[in-house]
Chains A and B, each alone.
Chain A
Amino acid sequence: MNCKDAVQQITGYLDGNMDDELKRMLEVHLKCCHHCQVVFDTTKKTVELYCDGKLFPLPGSVRSRLHDALRAKWEASSR
């Protein structure tokens, strides 16, 4: 497997959706190709960073305005 073929497999690899033989060939390639190993590791890290639940918290003031607006709508609809 060459680098171009390896990169094409990144989605299947990250999603855990590869057939065993292809995965074995990819892992052999990653062991001997530092560049591809970096690309795979940092792509995985990219996804992890965007999924980090500690980032982009909902500010309390934004939450309060949301709940006030919803409560007002509910009260208006139940009159």
Chain B
Amino acid sequence: MPVLGSEIDAENLTLTFVAEFSAPVERVWQVWEDPRQLERWWGPPTWPATFERFEFEVGGRADYYMTGPDGTKAHGWWRITAIDSPVRLSLEDGFADGSGNPIDENDTNSTVAVLETVATGTRMTVIATFKDLAQLERLSAMGMQEGMTAAMNQIDAILVTAA
């Protein structure tokens, strides 16, 4: 499964991520639509996700939590904003408290997933958009774990080249 790449737009705080899978679009759609499959990939092995409520419809809500190595639970929620089965899904994602109540209904980041048929199977494009730097920092702090820290390189400088 090749990861085709990612593109970041630091000014607009957007990440575009593209990966391809050798399976048809309808099958790849299922990993988003079926909460039991979603739970198997949304969080890493060290912070697995559990979806308690999952209303896969426009305007629907999902409630989930991630469980850390020491049993700590970090709660989140989704609001599904658009569904075009089986090719496009759009959702807002935010933090919730221990009872699953959104901490701030307006403090959400958006995720759009687009599936297209390609010769080798399915191309999945994910566009994640963040509200501001502070939000991105909070989310990244949550996502920090051994594997990711190793992958994150220290940035020393921005290189400006004339091409």
Partners in one complex: no
